[in-house]
Structure 1
């Protein structure tokens, strides 16, 4: 499988002037990205996450050619983004959750027509792509509405459609579900899954809504202070963050806190209900079996760990170093 996105030792350093007195300013260097390297094969959907100021948006801007790396090697679809930004633009789609690429005073339909002309999309392909996006993103009643009159959720769905009309090979999504309601988020996620499966489109997703990552991505990369601190599956992320799953058991009557269950401990008791925590990387079956063997069970459920807390723990551990 070929790599559609390739970064090797990529750095981005900004010169910043800070006040150092009444009339004097000192020049400082800020290293926004510090030697990042990774590969994304064609057709993979990857989550790229980190705290504010970690270097996520800087990385995306270098991948699209908006910024030029200070050092290192970067290729997207075999193209150096900073050297051939125009040629690359025809092969990528970009959605920024905080900014629209649509024309504010034009109806969606007219905005899409301008996108078709900009990318010189053949009529047949344009009509097919537009019809598919309108159907899956529920845009039919919005095509004749000016962009300025759309809600945030409607505009976001409109932006995603615009980014896909020219059949890009790579799609960059920067906070695509920010500010959306539950229904809109579900529609966007379902659409992205379908596009990735049907077209084999490579997707790099940056988000603070970690449910996006859990529902869309098998691989996640975590960046902190400009450095890649994790690259792997969600299971490995849970192991690195030492996260825990929770077994919630309902007993026939009240009991003292459950003991003697290897690898598990009681973290909460409310009447006949008890909560037992155990490592997220371990199976729940032995814990359930041990409880059922010694206590009269009425009901049980297993709660998965909160990935947001996992990542927060990772950041806290690094800050303490």
Structure 2
């Protein structure tokens, strides 16, 4: 989706100046035994908007405020200060109406019925959301195919593997055709095959049905494969909002030119500014160069001096980029807040 296409879509999630403060009381022995009030600021003045059809990654270290931020537009938590609108509704005051328009998946908790066969859990979801029978059958058939649910539809949820249960939770969250889906660690603990199935399902659902998805995860591969836009929060403050490529550019780091030669040779000699050989393994050599620089001059120099068999470029690892952001402090946001002009009329828990 291009920037112009983004601008043509209605805003479906609007968070403006959201702050969430929790009150804790602890015992202190100073001047006698008493309780002292302690204000914990989980989220501080967070603002962002999400347009219909976006798939947005939400990143941050443990305790950064990710889950607290996600719970406010779901309606589980009420902001201490600030304004939220989701699908044209106030999440805290119109939670029941909003629940029919959203889906939620928390990777470490299940919304399925533990002792029922998976198919019966889906039937209960159908009745809870009052999904028409024909639409339910069509959706379920599609999800069974996309997520390969057929072999264990008759299996009680408690007997499912983690990967099977997660595919069941995803189906339950999407069965009623929600306009917006919040996913908190949807691939946690899954094997490679299950992760691939979940990612493929999310990408296709977003692409084919325009479902807006907010994805919170510690697995940066989820972000790289699914999300063009990322929000990064740390210590309760939004440190970045923009394209993944822009995040890489702003935080620097190195790209890698991997060169395959006909045979082993000493480290190649180059004069391109900032370029250097960092590894040699037989006929293959790795040359790092600044992430903000064009690869063309370095490629041209290497090709002119050496008989190149093959070469490729590796972008900075997103894990390294995020780590640099956490340790360097907030950087200016890459995206200006959007002033909403339209709203589309388009269940769960976690920790602060």
TM range (shorter): over 0.9
TM-score normalized by the length of structure 1: 0.95
Deviation string 1:279-300 (CA, Å, 9 cap, x unpaired) is: 2343323211111112333332
- The 8 Å contact of residues 232 and 238 in structure 2, kept in 1 or not, is answered as yes
Alignment of 1:218-257 (within 5 A): 218-251=228-261, 252-256=263-267
In structure 1, list runs of 5 or more residues that go unmatched: none
Candidates 261, 274, 286, aligned match of 2:285: 274
Report what 1:77 is aligned to.
87
Shift of 1:257: 5.0
- The 8 Å contact of residues 258 and 312 in structure 2, kept in 1 or not, is answered as yes
Task: Give, in whole Å, the separation in 1 of the partners of 2:114 and 2:281.
Answer: 54
Candidates 124, 131, 135, aligned match of 1:121: 131
- The 8 Å contact of residues 108 and 145 in structure 1, kept in 2 or not, is answered as yes
- The 8 Å contact of residues 101 and 159 in structure 1, kept in 2 or not, is answered as yes
Alignment of 1:92-171 (within 5 A): 92-171=102-181
Shift of 1:51: 0.4
Shift of 1:271: 4.8
Deviation string 1:149-190 (CA, Å, 9 cap, x unpaired) is: 000000000000000111100000000011111111111111
In structure 2, list runs of 5 or more residues that go unmatched: 1-8, 331-352
- The 8 Å contact of residues 257 and 269 in structure 1, kept in 2 or not, is answered as no
Report what 1:63 is aligned to.
73
C-alpha spacing 1:114/1:288, structure 2 compared with 1 (3 Å): same
Report what 1:3 is aligned to.
11
Shift of 1:141: 1.1
TM-score normalized by the length of structure 2: 0.87
| 2:222 corresponds to 1:212 | yes
- Aligned positions, number: 319
Report what 1:301 is aligned to.
312
- The 8 Å contact of residues 107 and 146 in structure 1, kept in 2 or not, is answered as yes
Shift of 1:120: 0.8
| 2:323 corresponds to 1:312 | yes
Alignment of 1:32-47 (within 5 A): 32-47=42-57
Deviation string 1:62-119 (CA, Å, 9 cap, x unpaired) is: 1111100000000100111000100000000000000000000000111011111111
- The 8 Å contact of residues 241 and 313 in structure 1, kept in 2 or not, is answered as yes
Shift of 1:256: 4.2
Shift of 1:122: 0.8
SS at match of 1:297: coil
- The 8 Å contact of residues 59 and 216 in structure 2, kept in 1 or not, is answered as yes
Deviation string 1:171-224 (CA, Å, 9 cap, x unpaired) is: 000000111111111111111111111111100000011111111111011011
- The 8 Å contact of residues 261 and 291 in structure 1, kept in 2 or not, is answered as no
